[in-house]
Structure formats: C-alpha cells, structure tokens
Amino acid sequence: MQLACSSKLLCACPVLDGAPANALVCPVCAGHPGTLPTLNAEAVRLAIKAGLALDGQVNRVSRFDRKHYRYADLPKGFQITQQRQPIVNAARLHVSGREAPYTLERMHLEEDSGKLLHEDDRTLVDYNRAGVPLLEIVGAPELQSGEEAEAWLRQLHRVLTFAGITPGELEKGHWRCDANVSLEDGERVELKNINSFRFVRKAIDHEIKRQRERLAQGDPVPRETRAWDVNTSRPLRAKESQADYRFLAEPDLPPLVLTQEEVTSVMQELPGPVDKHLLRLELERLQHWRRTYGLDRDHVLPITEDPELEALFLKAHEAGAAPTELANWVVGPVRALTNRMELPLSGLPLTAQHLADLCELLQTQAITRPTARKLFDWVGSRDGNVKGLVEVLGWHRIGDDDTLRGHLRETMDAHPDELERLRAGNDGLVDFFVGKVMAATQGRADPERVSTLLQEMR
C-alpha cells in the first residue's frame, strides 16, 4: 500500500502520478554508489497512524533490512524494508458480519521498486516509483475464500483511506495485493500484484479450484509465484524462501526509535480504532437508509461504499426514481458496467437522469424490462435521451391483447410439436412460447400478459 507522502521514503524526490518516465529520480533512489538514505518522517508518522487505526502494537524500536533480489526494476539490487523488526505488530481488523476480528500480524515500511514497460520486443524501465514509500500489511492465514478476502480488503481499504494514510486509488497502483493460497497440507502459492478487490476474489477462488483439481489427479502443487491475468493465472517463478533474499541489517539507517510523545500525538488524530468507528458509522447509515428509503443491507452497503454510486443514487432519487427500483439498477447493472468497462462512473456517459427516466418508464409500464436493459446499455456506452430513444426507436411496451394474440398464433403455427406437448400438460413449454414472442417483438411484449393469453389459447 502506498503511503500518502509527497516525497519518497529515503530521499527528497517527489511522489507524483503521471510524470514523464524517469523524471523523478535522484542518485539516492537510483542506487548510485556513495549515496546515503534519509528516512522520511511523514512516512513514519503514517505508519504509526496505521498501527493505531487498527488497534495494533506500535513498536518503540524497529529496524531496517536489505532484501536482495536481482530484477531490472530494482536499481540498487536490494530493497530496504523491515523484515525482522517491523514498526507495527499484532493489529486487528473488524469486518461487518464477523464477530471476531481478523489478526494483522505485522505492518512494515519499505520502498517500492520501479516499473517495467514492455514495448514490442524490448523492455524499458521507469524508476519514478523506485523509492516510493509503502506500508506492507501481512494478515494471518485466517481467510477461507475469495469472498472473505474481498470483504477483508475492502474494510482495510476503508480504514486506511478514511484515516488519510493512503490515497488508495487502485487504478493508479496505490494499492496492490499478494494473495497466498494453500489447501490443507499443501504447498503455498503466491498470486502477485493484484490491483482490484474483484480480481482478488476471482484469483483466490480460481487458485483454490486449480489446486483441488491437481491434488485430485494425484499431481503435487509446486511452491511458486503466479501472475493473475483477468480470468486465469500463469506461473512466474519458483517461490523464493527467506534465505534466497539474503536479508541483512541495513547499515546506512540506524534503528528507528519512537518516543511515547510521538505515538501519543498521532493517537490524538484518530477517533479510536478506525475499523470499529467505521462499523458504527455503517450501522447508523444502514438505519438511516432503512428509514429514509426502505432499503436493506444488501442494497445499502454496495451503494454507500462507493461515493460515486451513492451520489448517483441520491441524484436519481431526487429526480423522481423510486428507491427500490433505483437501488436494483445501481447495485446490479451500474456496478456491472463500471467493472466491465474498468472505468469510474465519471468516465461513463451514464447520468442520474438516465436512471430516473428508466425507473419512471418501468413504473408506468411504458416499456418492458428487457427494453429497459437495452436502453441502459445504449446510454451507458454512448449517451442519449432515454425517453427520446423510446419514441424514435418505437420501443414502447406492447400490451394490446389483439396484437399479442396475433404474435402467439404465429408462434403456435410455427411450432406445432411444442404446442401439442403444451396442450398435453407440459407446462415447462410456457416459457418457450413466451420467449419466442418476446424475441419476435424485440422484447417489447408484456411477458406476463403473453403468458396469461397463452393459457387462454392453448
């Protein structure tokens, strides 16, 4: 996790997103011989704050180590980290729906590496991120599924962004996850650098399934590091052990010694353990949304955990959308659209007025739900006026019985065998005939009315 610092961990180079390649590099973070590191006091303060925010043990003495490995994006040939004596131990994370807190074994300061850029048949290195201050958080092996891991990460992200410890923008690489997965008595496999809560869930569930299948076939699961590529993982390398990294005490940085006054001053910036504070706020928010909009927890949490979704809901409701119908759109199709496009709402043409118009047209039965989904897909990707599109494209709901009977007769005539089986008592074919009419009318027929008329005509 990247800390919310304006400069790097061990030098004065600025931390900026979007700067030209290698524009934010000095001899210290480039690893030139003879240079000496200077520890960033703000990074230390934020690490203390993270420990206190999660009710952890902030160690009055911690130390830095060199972690050696040879990659092109590591200019010094080693990473300065806190392997043996981290700044925080034994923190806790409370997650909604779970009575006992999760254990966070350790939090330690370390510097980031650079970034490899692959172009055609060559690889370039951008060292702008080399030395950016990170806080690595290691959880105890308590998580049992991808779903549980996603909830764990989302709550951790809420805590640390609420407290101002990290900017927390996943799309900018401020927040990355390495997931270690092992089945009982099996080897541990590390899934590296996953930058999405949703992908963490998918990656872990995929890895559990992959390992089970291998073990069921009698094949051992090798201890390795794998990369996650949207829908599958691929091997990167054999998993290193601690001995491979040749850890040694960092000779150019003295032990980090904190005074009680320094810890106390940071403590005064927090409302106590932030995870408990956020759970209290969550309960108050749930009660407010239940009273105001009549929504349950499964609707409220996905909406309110994303400020853009919450703002969209409130604006669309203000424009006249009924809350339950609107919440179903926001939690379902809207979230699915942002995930599919991998863009924030602000990057899409979809507006609150679009949703309000869709909800109104459904409530007044001017359109069918399949038509509403087609309209949503249209305005979600290329803008447009919802009501105007219905008029121009002629997508009004067909509720006229004579018209629907005509479509049913055509369908019955085209499928005599299915009609005979329906009349013989195979009610499962009702959906078949309704589906055929819906397809013939491009989703404009009222499916409930079609089903009723079919029962009369069979």
Per-residue tens of pLDDT for the chain, all 458 residues: 999 999 999 999 999 998 999 999 999 999 999 999 999 999 999 999 999 999 999 999 999 999 998 888 999 999 999 999 999 999 999 998 888 999 999 999 999 999 988 888 899 999 999 999 999 999 999 999 999 999 999 999 999 999 999 998 888 889 999 999 999 877 899 998 788 888 899 999 999 999 999 998 988 899 999 988 878 888 887 766 666 788 999 999 999 999 999 999 999 999 999 999 999 988 999 999 999 999 998 899 889 878 889 999 999 999 999 999 999 999 999 988 887 877 778 888 999 999 999 999 999 989 999 999 989 988 888 878 899 888 888 888 887 788 878 888 888 888 888 877 878 778 878 888 878 888 888 888 878 778 888 787 77
| CA atoms of 359 and 354, how far apart (whole Å) | 9
- pLDDT of amino acid 274: 96
For residue 435, the model assigns a pLDDT of 84
The token duo for 43 is 């990074």
- pTM for this model (two decimals): 0.76
| 227: enclosing H helix or E strand | strand 224-229
Rounded Cα distance between 358 and 103, Å, is: 45
- Residue 38: phi, psi to the nearest 5? -130, 120
Helix (H, G, I), strand (E, B) or coil at 61: strand
Give me the torsion for CA of 63, 64, 67, 72, rounded to 10°: 160
CA 115/CA 126 separation, integer angstroms: 5
Predicted confidence at residue 64, as pLDDT, reads 98
Residue 304: predicted pLDDT? 87
pLDDT at 266: 96
What pLDDT is attached to residue 249?
96
Phi and psi of 134, rounded to 5°?
A: -120, 155
**Alpha helices (runs of H) in 351-415, residue ranges in sequence order:** 352-363, 369-382, 386-393, 401-414
**Torsions phi, psi for 145 (to 5 deg):** -160, 170
What pLDDT is stored for residue 363 in this prediction? 92
Contact 239, 225 (CB under 8 A): yes
Q: In what order do the strands lie in the sheet with 65-68?
A: 78-81, 65-68, 248-249
**What span, in angstroms and rounded, lies between the C-alpha atoms of 423 and 429?**
10
Q: What length does the chain have?
A: 458
**For residue 240, what pLDDT is reported?**
62
Give residue 146's pLDDT. 95
Domains assigned to the chain: 41-267 (no CATH), 294-393 (no CATH), 401-457 (1.10.10.410)
pLDDT at 242: 62
Q: What angle do CA 267, 269, 274 make, to 5 degrees?
A: 80
